[in-house]
Amino acid sequence: MTKSRNDEAITMQSVAIAAGVSPMTVSNTFRYPERVQEETRRRVLTIAAELGYVPNHAAGNLASGQSRVIGAVIPSIKNSSFYNYVRGMQDRVASQGYQLILKLADTVSQEAAAIRTFVGLRVAGVALVGDEHEVDALTLLRKTGVPVVESWVYNNPFDMAVGYSTADATHAITSLLIEAGRQRIGFVGYDGDVSRRYTERVPVFRRCVESAGLDSHRIVLVDQADGFSAGAKALEGLCAIDPDIDAIVCPTDIVAAGVLFECGRRGWKVPDRLAVAGWGDYEIASEITPGITTIQPHSYEMGQRAMTLIVERASGIDRRGVSHDTGFQVVRRESV
């Protein structure tokens, strides 16, 4: 049944004839899969694969005036939170007949370059992480009118936003330590040019412990690039401030795991000698011993909701100015 591409050009009509369906059914299979019955969709996809047919998205975009591609920029794929966020985006766009293009950007300048690429590709929308961007990139997005979702934040969106309050999460995890009877709580932040998602946690921590009548001076900053080793450096720095420190709030579960490793080297029992809280609910948080008490962002839902907002905009529903709070959960494990 199959033919070489060199012998005959494979078209949508070719697939339709081979599958015994209309060309419109073939088109909907790739563009609007929800409109096609499951059995028919599977048959069309099987025939298309056998024939070597791939739809020309560029031609389809020109004909319809609407792109079926969404661009997303993320700062990292190192942790499971961003992995779940991307998986949520991918699952949602696939169910809607869209395609997702992913770009990594560690800096705002790299993000701006990715935005220019996406605008050049005439994508249906762009998903960004955070709300700190180059002015020129925002100007370009504003002038072109490309729908934009800022994820992991939800206040004062440039266009649309989906995320949760890191201030509320900081208050929740710090309050948990206070309720557990900890009196000498330390806080670990990141040094240098880092996102507000990290820097805004410090003043919230201070207010929370001070409102409980506790001292708030036990704060150290570590390099975000240090990974697990940042935990040892953080514990050393906090012990220099207060050798009797009894709890630590870490910026990520990676740093928290590093603290646990250092406690092991020192012979400290967790949480008896030191309670440790992380952030992100990475895979290591549940696999390490003791398990890490942490903040769990609803990252999969965040990814799904971000894509939904863009698809709705593409379908003509006005979602400009919408901020969707996906919330968070405090997951308590054995480290507290």
Secondary structure in 3-state letters for 219-274: EEEECHHHCCHHHHHHHHHHHHHCCCCCEEECCCHHHHHHHHHHHHHHCCCCCCCC
pLDDT tens-digit profile of 296-326? 999 999 999 999 999 999 889 999 999 999 9
Q: Evaluate whether residue 242 is within a structural domain.
A: yes
pLDDT number for residue 67: 81
> In residues, how long is the chain?
336
Q: For residue 141, what is the domain's CATH number?
A: 3.40.50.2300
Interval 242-266: pLDDT, tens:
999 999 999 999 999 999 999 999 9
pLDDT tens by residue, 119-176: 988 899 999 999 999 999 999 999 999 999 999 998 889 999 999 999 999 999 999 9
Smallest CA-to-CA distance from 126 within 104, 156, 154, 148 is with 148
Q: Identify the pLDDT of residue 217.
A: 97
If you average pLDDT over residues 202-212, what whole number do you get? 98
Q: What is the pLDDT of residue 284?
A: 94
Supply the range of the domain harboring residue 191.
Answer: 166-297
Domain count, the chain: 3
CA 102 from centre of chain: 12
Whether residue 190 is found in the same domain as residue 223: yes
Give the residue ranges of DSSP H helices in the chain.
12-19, 23-31, 38-51, 57-64, 80-95, 108-120, 135-144, 166-179, 196-199, 201-211, 229-241, 253-266, 283-287, 299-314
Mark whether 136 and 95 lie in a shared domain. yes
186 vs 35 pLDDT, higher one: 186
Asked if residue 186 belongs to a domain, the reply is yes
Residue 333 domain flag: no
pLDDT on residue 56: 63
Distances (CA, A) of 26 to 11, 15, 141, 235: 10, 7, 34, 60
Q: How far is CA 267 from the centre of its chain?
A: 36
Based on the domain organization, do 179 and 282 belong to the same domain?
A: yes
pTM for the whole structure: 0.79
